[in-house]
A and B are shown apart, each in its own frame.
Chain A
Amino acid sequence: MVDGRKPRPAFAPWDRRALPGLFDVEESARRVGAYAWLEMRLFEALGGWIATVPELDVKLVLGRHCYHHAWHAEQLQQRLPELREMNPARLTLPANEGIVAFAEALIEPEAAEQTIEKLVGVFRVLLPRTIAAYTYHLNGTSTITDAPTIRTLNFLLQDEFEDWREGEMLLQSLIKTPEQIERASNRAKSLEALIVVAGGIAGAGTLGEEVNESENKSEAVPE
């Protein structure tokens, strides 16, 4: 019979979680707010594009992914009050002007002939960046104090991986000619340039590059 009165350690031997983390409450909240802002722009764009793409399979995938990203935004916003921001809208901000420029360029294509441009922006430029940023966040933050953010990001990442894979497969099925290859690479190049200038989806230091912590705070752009 197990003796429930015998003392056991609070952390089982296999539980290697630790207190130290890269982000304080404020920085974690800033990043979460930046992610939420971009997820919002993304789901709105996907929703708007549904009527503009003639390819039926793409139309249906956009409809599904539109909800995924809206749900991501909701999950991230729900985390903000727990990170000391009682008004989530106040922290749901682009990381800097560069990200605003990137989002505007991402959303720009409208014509029915621009499905490749629409999908490259989302699946070859943005989603790889969100996957990278969310992964960096959950790898770097305190596994004990910021566990709720980690849980949220893990849910989001599951969608992001699957959506990225589905979008990439759509693109591979659409890109067949040298002209289409060029369109895809030109589109990726132009958006890549914008997001590099922005420093990533959470601004400078998105993936932990050396950065003055105050840099992003001053860059944050109120809407």
Chain B
Amino acid sequence: MKRFLPVEELARDERFIRSDLAEGFADPRNGRVRDRTISTARLQPDRAAAPDRARSLMHGIFVGEIQALEAAGRTTFDFDDADAPFALKLDMARQCWDESRHVEISVKLGEHMGTEIGEYTEATFLYEAACVTDPAMRLAGVNRALEGLAIDVFNTMKDFGEASGDPVLQFCEDWMLADEVTHVKMGSDWLRRLTERDPERRERALEFQRAVDKLFSLGGFRGETDESPIQIARRFRELAGFDTKEIDEIAGLAAESIAETRALLGKTG
């Protein structure tokens, strides 16, 4: 088995269909709904289309968990002990088990919410962030940016479960949230240790993290205003070791991304 498996080679059964990003960008409907003064884009049970938005998000979580599992797995294999010490790989192996459980939980939650594997397409951004060949960058992109996003997503879903009186959703999301906090902490810890004597490498890794954070704030998907369905979970991010400055920075990226999307749609819409 070779090291560094490209995204094109991710193995899937026939139920999984990849998202066509080019097609998505070319969709002439983009931006038109923006004018409808929908008072909040937050995922709340009494909002328009809430059940289907929640189901679609749950499917997105499911495929995201598969890719997180694959990414952590590849980190146990892709690097020599010199580049990634055993203790780091042990943490990644632990993360494999956690992500494996998260996939199981997501499948069950998907059934609970009336969706099924393959109902929606799979975007592979997450795994792509794990294809970098520097373990410090990979940990920054996957464990800090993407697992940080997972904190925001799970907290949003937990709130949705609470507001809708769905005990199953609330219970499961809370458990997954606990795991994600641990994964972010692992990422922060290893980023610090791997780049202890190389501040430039650390800066490159953090720059990559910012790029990934911005990608996942695209179009206002994640932020702190009513325009974002996924809200930044400040409290849980603090538990995971993000300081206020870092969280503010992510909120800033989100706001920046919303402004850019507005400008883009203003030009093309």
Contact = CB atoms under 8 A, between A and B. Distances in A.
> Do A and B interact directly, with beta carbons closer than 8 Å?
yes
Interface of A: 40, 43-56, 59-64, 66-71, 73-74, 77, 89, 107-110, 112
B22 to A, nearest CB: 24
Nearest to B90: A70
B76 interface: yes
B112 to A, nearest CB: 18
A74 B89 CA distance: 11
A59 B107 CA distance: 14
B10 A44 contact: no
Interface stretch (B36-44, B64-72, B147-155): B64-72
The 6 closest A-B pairs by CB, nearest first: A48-B77, A63-B100, A47-B76, A70-B93, A50-B73, A47-B73
A108 B77 CA distance: 12
A50 B97 contact: no
A55 B13 contact: yes
Given A48-B74, A48-B76, A54-B12, A60 B90 contact: no
A47 B93 contact: yes
Interface in B71-95: 72-78, 86, 89-90, 92-94
A109 B1 contact: yes
Given A48-B74, A48-B76, A108-B1, A60 B11 contact: no
A99 B89 CA distance: 22
A70 B100 contact: no
Contacts of B117: 56
Contacts of A47: 72-77, 89, 92-93, 96
B11 to A, nearest CB: 4
Nearest to B99: A63
Given A48-B73, A51-B10, 6 more contacts: A44-B77, A60-B69, A60-B103, A70-B90, A71-B90, A73-B86
A50 B69 contact: yes
24 contacts: A40-B86, A43-B93, A45-B1, A46-B73, A47-B73, A48-B76, A50-B70, A50-B74, A51-B9, A52-B11, A56-B66, A56-B103, A60-B69, A60-B104, A62-B73, A63-B69, A63-B73, A70-B93, A70-B94, A73-B90, A74-B90, A77-B86, A110-B1, A112-B11
Interface of B: 1-2, 5, 9-13, 66, 69-70, 72-78, 86, 89-90, 92-94, 96-97, 99-101, 103-104, 117, 127
B11 A51 contact: yes
A55 to B, nearest CB: 7
Contact of A67 (B9, B13, B74, B93): B93
Contacts of B69: 50, 59-60, 63
Contacts of B99: 63
Nearest to A41: B77
B176 to A, nearest CB: 15
Nearest to A62: B73
A51 B9 CA distance: 8
A45 B86 CA distance: 14
Contacts of A59: 66, 69-70, 100, 103
Contacts of B89: 43-44, 47, 70
A59 B104 CA distance: 11
A49 B1 CA distance: 8
A53 B11 contact: yes
Contacts of A53: 11
A70 B103 CA distance: 20
A45 B13 contact: no
